[in-house]
Structure 1
Amino acid sequence: MLNRDDQIAHEMFQEIQSPDQPRQKVLDSPHLHRLQRMHFFLFDVLPIIGTVCAVVLLFFHPVSVVDITLFAVMWILTGLGVSVGYHRLFTHRSFKTTSVVRALFGIFGSMAGQGGVISWTAMHRRHHELGDQDGDLHSPNLHGSGLVGKLKGFVHAHFTWMVAHPYPNVVHYAPDLLKDPVIIWVNRHYYTWIVLGLLAPTLIGALVTQTWMGAVTGFLWGGMVRMFVVEQGIFSLNSLCHLIGRRRFVTDDQSTNISWLAPFIFGESWHHNHHAFPGSASFGLAWYRIDPGYWVICMLSLLGQAWDVKVPTREQISRREIRAS
């Protein structure tokens, strides 16, 4: 069973799909767009408002060690949930792991508020299929040339594409996840995980400080600010990592690497490397490049909790670089 939004979309696909026609890959529906606008307001706009409130509150109540700790822990858990879970594990199947680990990564990724795991996977697989071409949901390079076109593209790719967009057919793009009972269970409770991700730091802040203010600042720093920061990091892959940075390989898109961003977004900003080798668990493609997401996978492998970890050989990397030269 899917979550409510995915279930509505799935039913719409079934209603409009004729047996004698090719499978429809996306659905544009006013009803789905209303759900997308609601999701956008709740989990993209409200975190901005919450972050502003947290900053204003600093003039009256300084941030505490508890607040910083709650922010850091929730940022790491939900950021890795998206980077390692949503992206490397579920979307690209770059390694295998146990049902418990899959569930935990799915739950932590859901807490980021960037969509259910099945729809997120479907959208990202479509992005790889049509990178920077018509149909790419969040390309910054399809909005005209010159500075104005790039600015429009940046705003679209980083933020406004989520207001309303074509919904990818999960049956087409994520059939493997639809057969996974663990992921179906995680996906069905998507909104529950978001609430839990906001409630946990609120309760911990209250219990540790024994004050109502501790609950408020725990909610703001461990919930709203954390969600805002994780979002900006992941959104920068759609915008900055398709506009500025360096390219190393020949790819069909305009993806780039931005090395200085890597420590802040779990190694995800080796984005061009990822587009060149989408099935690789390592995005840095070298031990000396900062890639915390891959380090976590290596740690799980050492603990016997991850296996079949996919990484291209030096020869495969060299062949791609030779073609780029």
Structure 2
Amino acid sequence: MTTAAELPTENAEGKREAIPEYEPELRGRAERFTVFAFVFVPLIALLASVPFFWGWGLSLTDIAIASVFYLISGLGITVGFHRHFTHGSFKANRPLRIALAVAGSLAIEGSVIKWVADHRRHHKYADAEGDPHSPWRFGDDWKSVAKGLYYAHMAWMYLDDKKTSPRRFAPDLLKDKDIVLVDKLFLPIVLFSLGAPALIGGLVTMSWWGAFTAFFWASLVRVALLHHVTWSINSICHTIGEENFEVRDRSRNVWWLAIPSFGESWHNLHHADPTCARHGVLKGQIDISARVIWAFEKLGWATKVRWPNNDRLAAKRVKV
């Protein structure tokens, strides 16, 4: 009998074979420590930013650099990694496709192929056994949910020693030479994401202090803030919020995360209709990522955009 972890899938030669959902080797200690460092070093910087902000060291230059990098890397995740690469909400021409892969990598949330593989597995098993980051994995009582929130938010990245198989969940990206190259260049892109703000800050202010404050705010704090906004979609948006559309999991809409997440926190509709290019479909639901996709479409860079279908929305709407 074929198990859920070994579903038949076509290989590169078009032949059917059972590809496991996990990589054969477990996540090594060095790899887990690296992930741990990239999670907690920016977090420490974010926590340190409060007294740092009230005392000294924040300039308009720092704010401008951090805002630009937050915007580019954040939209790289939402428009690129998520709506385009994971769910195919629209087709992108080659330059845009490469740019979105690079922009998403700047967020330092993992390489594009790994990110997509993990997220596709999440959707396959949303809030059930097999979901890599469900806050309900330990139970429904408050202690279990509290533990699950921490696990879903960040701990799963360094506590889970299993690695999602890209061959099983992202075979399309493995066939794309451009995306494979961007995936292999993840480390240089990470170094650029951390180093470029310092270089820009130093050149603008012509000082080492300007380079240091730009690194603190536009590299460490920016990365930490974007990390926790993104991870909140995994944790908070699967725990609290409104359910406007019927889903088989516990995905919910959390309005106060809509702006910093560029519309990703309208998560309930997303799980009801994963390939839809717009997540905020109801009145007043601001979806910046959808607006960006709309602009790409008008420019001719994006085609076959899967905009909301009124009949499908009506069929999925929760009956009051």
- Normalised to the residue count of structure 1, the TM-score between the two structures is 0.89
* Aligned with 2:124 (options 129, 139, 142): 129
Does structure 1 residue 221 correspond to structure 2 residue 217?
A: yes
Q: How does 1:250-261 map to 2 (within 5 A)?
A: 250-261=246-257
Q: Distance in 1 between matches of 2:75 and 2:115?
A: 15
Identify the match of residue 117 of structure 1 among 108, 112, 121: 112
Q: CA deviation at 1:286?
A: 4.1
Partner of 2:269: 273
Cα offset, 1:99, TM superposition: 1.3
Distance in 2, Cα, partners of 1:120 & 1:180: 15
Match of 1:159, SS state, is helix
Structure 2 unaligned spans of 5+: 1-14
Q: How many residues align?
A: 305
What is the Cα deviation at residue 20 of structure 1? 11
SS at match of 2:252: coil
| Secondary structure of the structure 2 residue equivalent to 1:24 | coil
Q: CA deviation at 1:189?
A: 0.3
User: How far off its partner does 1:261 sit?
Assistant: 1.2
Instruction: Give 1:20-35 correspondences, 5 Å limit.
Output: 22-27=18-23, 29-30=25-26, 32-35=27-30
Query: CA 1:319/1:59 → structure 2, altered by over 3 Å: closer, same or farther?
Result: closer
**RMSD over equivalenced CA pairs, Å:** 1.8
Asked whether 1:185 is paired with 2:195, we answer no
What is the match of residue 12 of structure 1?
Answer: none
Q: How does 1:1-325 map to 2 (within 5 A)?
A: 22-27=18-23, 29-30=25-26, 32-58=27-53, 60-165=55-160, 166-286=162-282, 288-321=284-317, 324=319
The 8 Å contact of residues 51 and 220 in structure 1, kept in 2 or not, is answered as: no
Distance 1:229 1:138 in 2: 19
Take 1:161 and 1:315, find their aligned partners in 2: how far apart are those partners? 37
1:168 Cα shift? 1.2
Shift of 1:21: 7.6
Maintained 8 Å contact 1:84/1:293: yes
Separation in 2 of the partners of 1:187 and 1:94?
Answer: 21
Q: Deviations over 1:249-271 (max 9, x none)?
A: 22111110112210111000001
CA distance, structure 2, for counterparts of residue 39 and residue 84 of structure 1: 26
Q: Name the CA distance, whole Å, in 2 between partners of 1:306 and 1:286.
A: 23
Is the 1:244–1:256 contact (alpha carbons within 8 Å) kept by the matching residues of 2?
A: yes
**Cα separation, 1, equivalents of 2:281 and 2:55:** 46
Per-residue deviation at 1:179?
0.9
- Secondary structure of the 1:263 match is coil
- Partners of 1:35 and 1:134 in 2: how far apart? 27
Checking the alignment, whether the CA contact within 8 Å between 1:249 and 1:273 is kept in structure 2 is yes
- TM-superposed deviation, 1:23: 2.1
